[in-house]
Amino acid sequence: MAANNDFIKDITISKMQWKLKVRVVRMWEKPDRFNPGSIFSIELVLQDEKGDHIHASIGKSVLHIFNKKINELGLYLMANFIVCQNKERFNTTKHRLMLTFTQRTTVAETIDPLFPMNIFELRPYHQLINKGDVNESELFDVIGEIVNFSE
């Protein structure tokens, strides 16, 4: 990461001029609950080269700017977001803040063969055995093997 890029772990609400080099590890459309055929926003989970994640949201008012510019697993240089508290019902990341895209947000695809591709937030089995130990509002990945199946 170039010296002029910031790391996700350093993001605070105190400024808007963050410059990130990130991979889009998750990307999904959030439907408009009042107009089910319409997209309310596009939600992203961004990961920097240290493996830290942050949630980002592209609202309806700026969808036309970014919806064709960003792809899941793509690597981008991004800058100029609104930083706010992450008050989403489900925590897609452990970061307490999230980024909101605006008309001033810039996105440029980049290539870096050395940028890591570990996109999963895996949990070991022993952390999943006791339901009381699992935070149901936090999203994570699980890999398993089907050892038996019957009808």
Do the domain assignments include residue 149?
no
Q: What is the pLDDT of residues 118-150, one digit of tens each?
A: 877 777 777 777 777 776 666 777 777 878 888
User: Which domain CATH number covers 110?
Assistant: 2.40.50.140
Of 125, 107, 132, 151, nearest in space to 19 by CA? 107
Task: Classify residue 95: in a domain, yes or no.
Answer: yes
Checking DSSP bridges between strand 19-32 and strand 75-79, what pairing results, if any? antiparallel
Task: With respect to residue 93, please indicate whether it lies within any of the assigned structural domains.
Answer: yes
- Count of structural domains, the chain: 1
End-to-end Cα distance, the chain: 52
Could you tell me which residue, 127 or 109, shows the higher pLDDT? 109
The pTM assigned to this predicted structure is 0.83
The answer to whether residue 131 sits within a structural domain is no
The answer to whether residue 1 scores a pLDDT higher than 60 is no
Residue 1 included in any domain: no
Cα separation, 26 vs 71, whole angstroms: 9
Domain that residue 86 falls in: 8-116
Higher-pLDDT residue of 39 and 151 is 39
127 occurs within a structural domain: no
Answer yes or no: is 69 within a domain.
Answer: yes
> Does residue 134 form part of some domain?
no
